[in-house]
Amino acid sequence: MSTISKPWDKDPVLTVEHLTMRFGGLVAVNDLSFSAGRGDITALIGPNGAGKTTVFNCITGFYKPTTGMMTMRHKDGATHLLERMPDFVVSKKAKVARTFQNIRLFSGMTLLENLLVAQHNPLMIASGMTFLGVLGIGGYKAKERQAIEKAKYWLDKIKLTDRADDPAGDLPYGAQRRLEIARAMCTGPALLCLDEPAAGLNPRESAELNELLLGIRRDEDTSILLIEHDMSVVMEISDHVVVLEYGTKISDGTPAETKNDPRVIAAYLGVDDEEVDKVEHELDEVQAHHTQGSGQ
Amino acid sequence: MTSNTTKKAGPDLGKAFKDAILAGIIAFALLGPLIGLKTDQNMDNQLVLVNNMPVALIFVALVMVGRFLLAAFIYPAIAAKGAKSKAAVSLAELEAKAKRTKRLSLGGLVFLFVYPMLILALFGVQGSIKWVDNFGVQILIYVMLGWGLNIVIGLAGLLDLGYVAFYAVGAYSYALLAINFHLSFWVLLPLAGILASFWGMILGFPVLRLRGDYLAIVTLAFGEIIRLVLINWKDFSGGSAGISSIPKVSLFGLYSFDMGATNNFAKAFHLAASSAYYKVFLYYLILLLALLTAFVTTRLRKLPIGRAWEALREDEVACRSLGINTTNTKLTAFAIGAMFGGFAGSFFAARQGFVSPESFVFMESAVIVAIVVLGGMGSMIGVALAAVAMIGGTELLRELSFLKAVFGDDFNPDQFRMLLFGLAMVVIMVWKPRGFISARQPTAFLFEKKTISGDLVKEGHG
């Protein structure tokens, strides 16, 4: 079980190394290292309060990590150190887009407007940093039409084209989740970070979401990193699962591997009192195994 | 008592009448002794009772009429409206409203252009001054200021309580540069705008990391600082005495409105000398400036920067996750809003011929904010209507001297301006809590333009 054999280490789009985030005395994330492979769907799972969202906030620049290094590698070879960037630059330059656990749409703006705001930076250049746009010169009109086409492409993908001119706040919950993903995709990201995209979805919507994410993996140059509680989503679509508990990584592997990892089972289900000794013994063994593996 | 009347469909006049009688009795019991009986001293320093009953009875009658109208018509109407709004406003209704607003704005525009002609025809050259200057120019200045501040508060959702500072920067820029360097208004107008937006950016840099209430307090303080500097830096600004004899605006240098000038407008066209022509000219000038503000704002809303402003108002965190530099975006909102404030300020200085720090007190900022909030944040027409109501309304109160016939010669309607002003604000906030026009027009559409109900649009929080 050496790390070399793992497919996601060959061409990682994102490498997180020794990431630690402290809030005062609380260690939310403790020395976390993992990588997300290019073109993969990587899932970050763990019980409540395991520090998953904190990891996301560090990656997307909303928190400055206490220590650690996060590297984005683009297809053209450009690398970006995320811990050195303010939040908006992470999206603008490093091409990392994200969604939020509690949906953050522009509820008073239409679906189309939401998707146009996501294309702010290219459109801003097209409008000559506003100066030419106000005077009505330059090619802004054509660029805006292209942006609308792109928005329409994503509205088709999330099956909301017929509601393009409705305010985003009027959409049902599941559709709002899909729209948030489409909005993030309109920024043209290399890595899409989804914070619990299936939370609150019914089984049908959840299946639609899987389809959408698999579609993104298939058709776009976008890798996906997602936090999820819904195991059906995780097991069905992810290529690689990283499990966190109390800010520490306890398992890292394919869905099948993590599913059978006793530490993951213990973290999720807990163990009976009489079994504690047995499990602890097993865990020690696993631990020994792990240290051997990572020691190389 | 009123709940019975409200449940019925039509006005229940009998019930309302009974209600009014009861209110009248209570009012008489209260006001009879309070107003009707007045103690006074006579010539011999004796305390005497003066019978003031007629006035008390007038008040009682007013209370009764008011109560009758409330119970018979207004309460049922409110109840009916409440029932309707609960059943969700239909889209068709919103559309119809948007169409009406569009017709209204077009009609309003035509009216604005013929207004001075109309007044000249109706009241003659001398009589027109009051209507063109006090109503027309005064209201249009506030429309322009409202539209300028609307960019900051209505679109970007940043509560700026010190907008008058930029108005002051514009006014003093024109006054000082015109007097010291003899530059013309047409050169100084853009310069005043640039200087004001420059100050907007200077304020913006330290302030924009603050949000909500904190931002409001700091902008308020900035407004006061500018005023205090103008008062205390006497060498520069003339202190609280202000700056007088500021040059008038010329008609692009072709005709002057100075009485002594050889190319005086009235002389050139062989008209009787009057300041009315200058007022009409100023009216058209401020009208064009205000329309420029409106044009640029509608243009900006359709550009990425305008959409970013509105997105910022809706959700700042989401904006940052989409790669929008929120600091720069806020700064541009501040700077552009300030620029229009500067334009309005330089116009103000040219119109008054005199500026002093007295004109730029916090009350001015408060009035402009009130106009924006009352109009419905983000709505251009709403803001214009609010400016007409607020400024026109207070000006109209000066015209109410006929009420002296009722309340005696001591009655001065001017003194009640602020009271009525506050009352009107309360009424409107109850009746339309999100301002006159709260619905939002989308800036782009795929199939058809649908009006967005104001309930979904957020107000921003800094």
The confidence score (pLDDT) of residue B141 equals: 95
Q: Strands A79-81, A26-37: parallel, antiparallel or unpaired by DSSP?
A: unpaired
Q: Which of B296, B303, B314 sits opposite A109 (nearest CB)?
A: B314
Using CA atoms, how far apart are residues A80 and A65, in angstroms rounded to an integer?
16
Range list for CATH 3.40.50.300 in chain A: 3-95+189-260
What tens digit of pLDDT does each residue of A247-265 get? Answer: 899 989 998 888 888 888 8
Q: What is the mean pLDDT of residues A145-152?
A: 93
Q: 3-state SS of chain B?
A: CHHHHHHCCCCCHHHHHHHHHHHHHHHHHHHHHHHHEEEEECCCCCEEEEECHHHHHHHHHHHHHHHHHHHHHHHHHHHHHHHHHHCCCCHHHHHHHHHHHHHHHHHHHHHHHHHHHHHHHHHHHHHHHHHHHHHHHHHHHHHHHHHHHHHHHHHCCCCCCCCHHHHHHHHHHHHHHHHHHCCCHHHHHHHHHHHHHHHHHHHHHHHCCCCHHHHHHHHHHHHHHHHHHHHHCHHHHCHHHCECCCCCCCECCCEECCCCCCCEHHHHCCCCCCCHHHHHHHHHHHHHHHHHHHHHHHHHHCCHHHHHHHHHHHCHHHHHHCCCCHHHHHHHHHHHHHHHHHHHHHHHHHHHCCECHHHHCHHHHHHHHHHHHHHCCCCHHHHHHHHHHHHHHHHHHCCHHHHHHHHCCCCCHHHHHHHHHHHHHHHHHHHCCCCCCCCECCCCCCCCCCCECCCCCCCCCC
Does the pLDDT at position B2 exceed 50?
no
Neighboring chain A residues of B325 at a CB cutoff of 8 Å: 88, 92
User: Which of A60, A87, A117 is the best mutation test for B, with the most CBs of B within 10 A?
Assistant: A117
CB burial of residue A5 (10 Å; 0-12, 13-18, 19+): exposed
Which two structure tokens, joined as six digits, stand for B298? 């509608």
Identity of the highest mean pLDDT range in B128-137, B382-391, B446-455: B382-391
For chain B, give the number of residues: 462
Lowest mean pLDDT segment, chosen from A193-197, B83-87, B143-147: B83-87
Neighboring chain A residues of B299 at a CB cutoff of 8 Å: 133-134, 136
Q: B124-142 burial by CB neighbour count: b if 16+ within 10 A, else e?
A: eeeebbbbbbbbbbbbbbb
Angle at the Cα of B189 (from B183 to B190), degrees rounded to 5? 110
> Is the model more confident about B12 or about B331?
B331
Residue of A nearest to B327 (CA): A88
What is the CATH superfamily name and number for domain A3-95+189-260?
A: P-loop containing nucleotide triphosphate hydrolases (3.40.50.300)
Using CA atoms, how far apart are residues B386 and B153, in angstroms rounded to an integer?
15
The confidence score (pLDDT) of residue A13 equals: 92
What tens digit of pLDDT does each residue of B149-197 get? Answer: 999 999 999 999 999 999 999 999 999 999 999 888 899 999 999 999 9
Contact B456 A164 (CB under 8 A): no
pLDDT-based confidence at B144, cuts 50/70/90?
very high
Contact B322 A164 (CB under 8 A): no
pLDDT-based confidence at B11, cuts 50/70/90?
low
Does the pLDDT at position B123 exceed 60?
yes
Neighboring chain B residues of A60 at a CB cutoff of 8 Å: 321
Q: Strands B37-41, A79-81: parallel, antiparallel or unpaired by DSSP?
A: unpaired
Neighboring chain B residues of A136 at a CB cutoff of 8 Å: 299
Neighboring chain B residues of A145 at a CB cutoff of 8 Å: none
Q: What is the mean pLDDT of residues B303-324?
A: 93
Neighboring chain B residues of A88 at a CB cutoff of 8 Å: 319-320, 322-326
pLDDT-based confidence at A31, cuts 50/70/90?
very high
> Is the model more confident about B54 or about B329?
B329
Distance from CA of A19 to the nearest CA of B (A): 21
Closest CA relative to residue A190, chosen from A210, A213, A214, A220: A220
Residues 51-110 (A) with a CB less than 8 A from some CB of B: 60, 62, 87-89, 91-92, 97-98, 100, 104-110
Does the pLDDT at position B385 exceed 80?
yes
The confidence score (pLDDT) of residue B438 equals: 81
The confidence score (pLDDT) of residue B5 equals: 42
Does the pLDDT at position B359 exceed 60?
yes
Contact between residue A116 and residue A155 where contact means Cβ atoms under 8 Å apart: no
What backbone phi and psi angles, to 5 degrees, belong to A212? -60, -45
A153 has a chain B CB within 8 A of its CB: no
Closest CA relative to residue B147, chosen from B116, B190, B204, B105: B105
What tens digit of pLDDT does each residue of A107-129 get? Answer: 999 999 999 999 999 998 888 77
Contact B446 A109 (CB under 8 A): no
User: Which of B446, B451, B453, B461 is the best mutation test for A, with the most CBs of A within 10 A?
Assistant: B446
pLDDT-based confidence at A289, cuts 50/70/90?
low
Neighboring chain B residues of A124 at a CB cutoff of 8 Å: 304-305
Does the pLDDT at position A58 exceed 90?
yes
Contact B299 A183 (CB under 8 A): no
What residue type is assigned to position B364 of the chain?
A: E
Contact between residue A93 and residue A69 where contact means Cβ atoms under 8 Å apart: no
What tens digit of pLDDT does each residue of B217-253 get? Answer: 999 999 999 999 999 998 888 888 889 888 888 777 6
Contact between residue B462 and residue B313 where contact means Cβ atoms under 8 Å apart: no
Q: What is the mean pLDDT of residues A213-217?
A: 92
Contact B452 A167 (CB under 8 A): yes
pLDDT-based confidence at A95, cuts 50/70/90?
very high
The confidence score (pLDDT) of residue B1 equals: 41
Does the pLDDT at position B119 exceed 70?
yes
Contact A123 B450 (CB under 8 A): no
What backbone phi and psi angles, to 5 degrees, belong to B328? -65, -40
Q: Which of B311, B321, B445 sits opposite A112 (nearest CB)?
A: B445
User: Which of B321, B449, B450 is the best mutation test for A, with the most CBs of A within 10 A?
Assistant: B321
Contact between residue A130 and residue B302 where contact means Cβ atoms under 8 Å apart: no
Contact between residue B342 and residue B192 where contact means Cβ atoms under 8 Å apart: yes
User: Which of A63, A80, A88, A170 is the best mutation test for B, with the most CBs of B within 10 A?
Assistant: A88
Question: Domains of chain B by range and CATH?
Answer: 2-86 (no CATH), 101-431 (1.10.3470)
The confidence score (pLDDT) of residue A276 equals: 63
The confidence score (pLDDT) of residue B374 equals: 87
Does the pLDDT at position A296 exceed 60?
no
Contact B445 A121 (CB under 8 A): no
The confidence score (pLDDT) of residue B89 equals: 57
Cα dist. B384→B16, B288, B387 in Å?
Answer: 37, 14, 5
Residue A95 neighbours by CB distance under 10 Å: 21
User: Which of A99, A109, A130 is the best mutation test for B, with the most CBs of B within 10 A?
Assistant: A109
Does the pLDDT at position B7 exceed 60?
no
